[in-house]
Copies of this chain bind each other. A is one copy, B any other.
């Protein structure tokens, strides 16, 4: 595995490759979720590039940029063992200058949900991915469904700007109790960790109420009661039921063929997100 750190080096490498290239952009602190992306890329492309770059532009001023977990040596070994061709790990100075002024924003989708609480977050994501896509020029890029809003934003950006790249969705990888894998899970104390399953349990609870409730207002109200009752230490940020294409909220599940529940919550100051597609049982009579 080659470890490259400059724009020039990744360009030089890329110019020599004529086979298909898969790309997995990450912020490091790799877990089984990332590795499932890498494995899928390895299966579908002759070469796989993984980037590790903790992107300062997608963190707000009061967020965890400085304490975000950095485990480069472990990450490197994991990727080497899987058979990755290139690990691209640029410095902040390689990716940004003080004169940077481009704003690249999905003006609607990036302001919904997480975007409403993490101002500018998704603009930082779309900016860094545009830079990385231009450097790596992959045929396919892999994103996890765990960050579902990010996935849709990337899909929409690629579609609107005609990037010659196929975005591949990879299902969320969960711990045995259902907690979605996340680099931020490492922030959880043992006590918080026991509560962290609250997100997945709440999302599953919503599914159990369908088709008894098809209106989303009572679904969300019941789910909030469930969360407060069962996980009193978890502080909900948002819980929404949306059309998974537009990410717009729906009032009634019949309004969309693909409803999905999205949520974000804090546990002892640690912010976690999760989401689940909702299904309407075929024998639903409502």
A105: contacting residue among B7, B103, B135, B156, CB under 8 A: B103
**Chain A contact residues: over half helix, strand or loop, or mixed?**
mixed
Whether B156 pairs with A101 at a CB distance below 8 angstroms is yes
Contact with B along A104-115 (1 / 0, CB 8 A): 111111000000
Do B102 and A102 touch across chains, with their CB atoms under 8 A apart?
Answer: no
The stretch that binds B, out of A140-148, A161-169, A181-189, A195-203, is A161-169
Q: Which of A238-281 contact B (CB under 8 A)?
A: none
Within 8 Å of chain B (Cβ to Cβ): is A38? no
- Check if A173 is an interface residue, CB within 8 A of chain B: no
Asked whether, in the complex, the Cβ of A104 is within 8 Å of the Cβ of B101, the reply is no
A160 to B99, CA, bound (A): 9
Q: Is A131 located at the chain interface by the 8 A CB criterion?
A: yes
Q: Is A100 in contact with B135, judged by CB distance below 8 angstroms? A: no
In the complex formed, the residue of B with least CB distance to A105 is B103
Contacts of A102 in B (CB 8 A): 104-107, 156-157, 160-161
Smallest CB gap from A7: residue in B = B162
Contacting pair B160 A101 (CB below 8 A): yes
A134 within 8 A of B: yes
- Is the beta-carbon distance between A162 and B131 smaller than 8 angstroms? yes
A137 located at the interface, meaning its Cβ lies under 8 Å from any Cβ of chain B in the complex: yes
Q: From B103, B156, B161, give the contact of A131 (CB < 8 A).
A: B161
The answer to whether B164 and A100 touch across the interface, beta carbons within 8 angstroms, is no
Please, which residues of chain B bring their CB within 8 A of the CB of A106?
Answer: 101-103
Q: Which of B109, B137, B162 contacts A101 (CB 8 A)?
A: B109
Max chain B Cβ within 10 angstroms of own Cβ: one of A107, A134, A162:
A162
Whether A134 and B163, one on each chain, are in contact in the complex, defined by CB atoms closer than 8 angstroms, is yes
A11 in contact (CB, < 8 A): yes
- A134–B162 contact, CB under 8 A? yes
Q: Pick from B103, B131, B137, B157: contact of A107, CB below 8 A.
A: B103
Instruction: Supply 11 A–B pairs (Cβ within 8 Å), ascending by A.
Output: A11-B164, A97-B160, A101-B107, A101-B156, A101-B160, A102-B107, A102-B161, A103-B104, A103-B106, A104-B104, A131-B162
Q: Which residues of A contact B (CB under 8 A)?
A: 7, 11, 97, 100-109, 130-131, 134-135, 137, 156-157, 160-164
The 9 nearest A-B residue pairs measured at CB:
A134-B162, A101-B108, A103-B105, A102-B160, A101-B107, A131-B162, A104-B104, A103-B107, A100-B160
